[in-house]
A = this chain, B = another copy of it.
Amino acid sequence: MCVPDRALVRVQDLTPEKADQLIWLRARIHTSRAKGKQCFLVLRQQQFNVQALVAVGDCASKQMVKFAANITKESIVDVEALVRKVEQKIESCSQQDVELHIERIFVISQAEPRLPLQLDDAVRPDGEGEEEGRATVNQDTKLDNRVIDLRTTTSQAIFRLQSGVCQLFRDTLTKKGFVEIQTPKIISAASEGGANVFTVSYFKTSAYLAQSPQLYKQMCICADFDKVFCVGPGKKSSHHVLPPCAAFTLVRSLRCFQTEIQTVNKQFPSEPFKFLEPTLRLEYTEAVAMLREAGVEMGDEDDLSTPNEKLLGRLVKEKYDTDFYVLDKYPLAVRPFYTMPDPNNPKYSNSYDMFMRGEEILSGAQRIHNAQLLTERAIHHQIDLEKIKAYIDSFRYGAPPHGGGGIGLERVCMLYLGLHNVRQTSMFPRDPKRLTP
């Protein structure tokens, strides 16, 4: 490794306690402004930045000031500098109480002079500064240049929150005795069918991409792992699944990420996320009644369309003042074949969805643990039994009653933050038209 033989200080640690110390720092040139015999730089590390100054004098020649002024934005530099307390707070930087007086500067990695997008434009709220002719950056340009777009304070906050959420979920489950498992990504048969089945060439044959780890999670339950979870790509290629019992803890704990939430809100303002404790639980029949009262025509066993889910979200918010609730006891007819029927009413099932701001984040259920009932339900759903043989066979040698579900990490982050496009919470999103970067 090309590690310099000097201790590098972090920008976030540049506080008045470091005043009058000579330090080394590795950071990006965020902005640069030459002014006579001086050059003002803003040096950035992730969401932190500090003002720095190269001025003609004892430590810097005219040439050095010129050299510094010519370093392209986004380049990475090493600087040796004196930390100086400032009298007036520097409002535009995260480190407001100090500035750096640069004595030496080295370019570690030079950025090309024309950036495909400007970071300041990429974090500008829609509409702001339009009159002054300031630009914003459209979503496709951002995604085409994702590596630069991810450097903005908004992106840094989103993905640090996402990493934190993931960790929080895992810790919650591990403490409850869950075992983390790794499920196969390539399977022999597209057991759940559906439209978006991805075929994979596999040595001399062909196979399918696993759309969901669910069947394997259940097989692990049959294999005595008792409580299992996995984190990985979910139903859609941009989903990640986390188990449901962690969802309640999650919603409570998301409040810890205030800094990240506020950073994202600066660019994308949203209403604060509200929820009740204990969590509101509605039954499907109640939801249907609420929708009918609002003028929706639907049968008792009809599924909820996305617009109706959103309408229901608004009705629930009005009535109960919560952005988070569980909708329980879905009609059996609208759920997958492995869903346990309600023993008290065969038209319904022991299944539920969880909603955030009117959109589904989690789908869960008690699963059928009896091979014969499972076979009957699969036949009823016209599923090719041969394709799910290994799955059904798992229940033949003693299977404990169990339930579970999958939660979309990216959707949770999107909805909690009040964003409107899951690509914003997917680091390198994929859709039918996008396969790069």
Tally of this chain's copies: 2
Q: Which of A51-59, A215-223, A354-362, A416-424 contacts B (4 or more CB under 8 A)?
A: A215-223
Q: Name the B residues within 8 Å of A395 (CB-CB).
A: 109
Q: Which of A226-234, A277-285, A297-305 contacts B (4 or more CB under 8 A)?
A: A226-234
Q: Name the B residues within 8 Å of A427 (CB-CB).
A: 181-183, 216, 220
Q: Name the B residues within 8 Å of A398 (CB-CB).
A: 28-29, 72, 74-76, 109-111
Q: Name the B residues within 8 Å of A256 (CB-CB).
A: none
Question: Contact check: which of B46, B180, B403 meets A224 at CB < 8 Å?
Answer: B46
Q: Is the CB of B182 within 8 A of A226?
A: no
Q: Which of A87-95, A96-104, A131-139, A158-166 contacts B (4 or more CB under 8 A)?
A: A158-166
Task: Tell me if A317 is interfacial: C-beta within 8 Å of chain B.
Answer: no
A399-411 interface mask toward B, CB cutoff 8 Å, 1 = contact, 0 = none?
1110100000110
Q: Name the B residues within 8 Å of A2 (CB-CB).
A: 340, 343, 350, 366, 401
Question: Contact check: which of B147, B204, B432 meets A222 at CB < 8 Å?
Answer: B147
Question: Contact check: which of B151, B207, B393, B403 meets A223 at CB < 8 Å?
Answer: B151
Interface residues of A, CB < 8 Å — how many?
96
Q: Is the CB of A366 within 8 A of B1?
A: yes
Task: Tell me if A148 is interfacial: C-beta within 8 Å of chain B.
Answer: yes
* Minimum Cβ distance to chain B for residue A353 (Å): 16
Between-chain CB contacts (< 8 Å), 14 pairs: A46-B226, A108-B401, A109-B370, A111-B396, A111-B398, A146-B223, A150-B225, A156-B225, A182-B410, A185-B237, A186-B237, A186-B430, A393-B437, A394-B437
Given pairs A46-B225, A74-B398, 15 additional interface contacts (CB within 8 A): A1-B350, A45-B226, A46-B224, A108-B401, A112-B396, A112-B397, A146-B223, A181-B427, A182-B427, A183-B427, A187-B435, A198-B200, A200-B200, A216-B428, A219-B437
